[in-house]
Homo-oligomer: A and B are copies of this chain.
Amino acid sequence: MSLRHGLLGLLAEGPASGYDLARRFEEHLGPVWPAQHPKIYAELSRLSKAGMIEVDSHGPRGRKAYRITDAGRAEVRRWLSEDAVDHTLRSESVLRSFFFWLMDPDDLHEHLRREQRYFTEIADLARGYAAAKDRGEYGTAPQTKSMRVALEAAIRVYQSLADWAEWAQTVPPATPEEDADTPRPPTPA
């Protein structure tokens, strides 16, 4: 369960409310770690009860900003350097590719073109953010340096998926003659 640590990590940058954190998840972490507000508010309560964060300030409209505690900071650090990384890379796009043979060749081609377009778009978006960061638009704080590293991952991974989708379009569709493995009744000569 990494949402807990994601929240602690974001709060290590400075105080923030549940609403702030939900927005940051949606805008930046969402593609690799989705989190909706109900889960975030629930987790914040738990973290608060556990003494890892505490209320920093109350604002308008019942806004409650949380601040990370020393215990919280220690916990993120412990997670980062001690906990084993879960390397699962859940991807519906790749899962579907196992079943491409079930698709009509035209549908598949159209699907791959759409996938290529989508992945290229995201890669370009990440490239845009990275360029802005490199121009110094986000300052030079250490957090932005890490953000730059994360963006580099996004650029490379999404570009590789775009290239894959493009390459897949060049793979010839399975022709009936090639379906040698599938047992079929002998054709009467």
A89 within 8 A of B: yes
A97 within 8 A of B: yes
Contact flags (1/0) for A168-181 with B, using CB distance below 8 Å? Answer: 10010010001111
A48 → chain B, closest Cβ, in Å? 20
Contacts of A104 in B (CB 8 A): 81
A15 → chain B, closest Cβ, in Å? 12
Known contacts A81-B107, A87-B93; is A182 also within 8 Å of B141 by CB?
A: yes
- B32 engages A179 (CB within 8 Å): no
Number of A residues near B (Cβ < 8 Å) is: 73
Q: Which residue of B lies closest to A104 (CB)?
A: B81
Copies in the complex: 2
Known contacts A141-B180, A161-B157; is A95 also within 8 Å of B171 by CB?
A: no
What are 11 contact pairs spanning A and B, CB under 8 A? A12-B102, A28-B98, A30-B88, A32-B89, A80-B107, A87-B92, A89-B157, A142-B179, A145-B178, A149-B171, A152-B164
Chain A residues close to B by CB (< 8 Å): 2, 5-6, 9, 12, 28-34, 73, 76-77, 80-81, 85-104, 107, 111, 115, 118, 122, 139-150, 152-154, 156-157, 159-161, 163-164, 167-168, 171, 174, 178-182
